[in-house]
Amino acid sequence: MVRSATMVSSSRSRVLSTTVVLSFLLGGCTFDEVSLQGLECPCAEGWVCRDEVCVRAEEAVDGGTGAPDLGEPDAAVADAGTDDPGPEDAGLEDLGPEDMFVDGGIFVPIAEGDGFLVDFGGAATPDWGYIMSNGLVGPLTTTGGAASSVTVAASGFAGENLDGVRTNTFGYPESAASDSTWLGSFDSHEIALTRTGTVVVGGLPPGNYRVRLYGSRLEDDFGQGRLARYTVSGTAQDLEIGDNSDRRVEFLAEPDGSGDLVITVGVSPLGSARFAYLGVLELVRMP
């Protein structure tokens, strides 16, 4: 039985009737001195709201810093001079369907040809699943409008980026194609090779699935390139992300016995890239 991921406590909900000064993140923007007059707190005590879903406070993950680029070097900047974040900075521990109140042993069927679209990065896309950089989303609604048991969890990424090519040949909306989540190292390609991001698609019924991955980032990092490596169920493919608008990688894969399909993201050992990116995950149930 799939249970709702949103919890509202009628006994503990409360109305915040004063103007408070705080800073919070929404779609990569920072707001100050926000009036909460008449705004009802949607989550019970001990829970917080993340992407319109109530999650346990100790498991909540901040999806970003509000900066559109989180220190990742811009096209005309050699080094933004920030610390070198890695997977250990993500603060996530083995997230899975159980964290979204989904019974990992009960899978809602998915019709052939139906599937999911997930946007990664600094701005959400309407009607898509969305993860800013690290965290959980789901249970997802399919592209055909059906309920599902599917969740997506991301960990190990350093932050979000908004500097991708705005148009593409695949019909992805600009809000999905031009932003991404990223990882890597400002110091060297060799250090970047030690950094890995992981995306776990959970709650999948048994069967074959087509997995498409897309990412884009302006410029080529001063000639070093942005060659990323994506691995799905042990099969790896490389994709050059620099100025990309017409390339993506595609896999045919099956979930494991727990209904999980694991995707890893990193820089390719080929070339000299320091950064890897993921902007779009497209998953379709196949015959």
Note down pLDDT in tens along the chain; length 287 residues: 333 333 333 333 333 333 333 333 333 333 333 333 333 444 555 556 665 555 555 554 443 333 334 444 443 333 333 344 444 444 444 444 444 444 446 899 999 999 999 999 999 999 999 999 999 999 999 999 999 999 999 999 999 999 999 999 999 999 999 999 999 999 999 999 999 999 999 999 999 999 999 999 999 999 999 999 999 999 999 999 999 999 999 999 999 999 999 999 999 999 999 999 999 999 999 99
- SS3 labels along 233-246: CCEEEEEECECCCC
CB–CB of 227/165 below 8 Å?
Answer: no
Q: Are strands 47-50 and 24-26 parallel, antiparallel or unpaired?
A: unpaired
What is the number of H-type helices and E-type strands within the chain?
A: 2, 20
Q: What is the DSSP-derived secondary structure letter of residue 221?
A: T
Q: Token pair of 186, please? A: 């400002």
Burial 168-206 (b: 16+ CB within 10 A, else e): beeebbebbbbbbbbbbbbeebeebbebbbbbbbbbbbe
Give residue 141's pLDDT: 97
- Phi and psi (nearest 5°) for 265? -130, 135
Cα separations (Å) of 189 from 27, 75, 76? 30, 17, 19
In contact, 118 and 172? CB cutoff 8 Å = no
**Which region, left, alpha or beta, applies to residue 113 given φ > 0 means left and ψ of -120 to 50 means alpha?**
left
CATH of domain 64-286: 2.60.120.430
What 3-state class would DSSP assign to 55? strand
Output the six-digit token pair for 47: 């829970």
Which pLDDT does position 163 carry in this prediction?
95
Continuous H helices in the chain:
174-177, 189-192
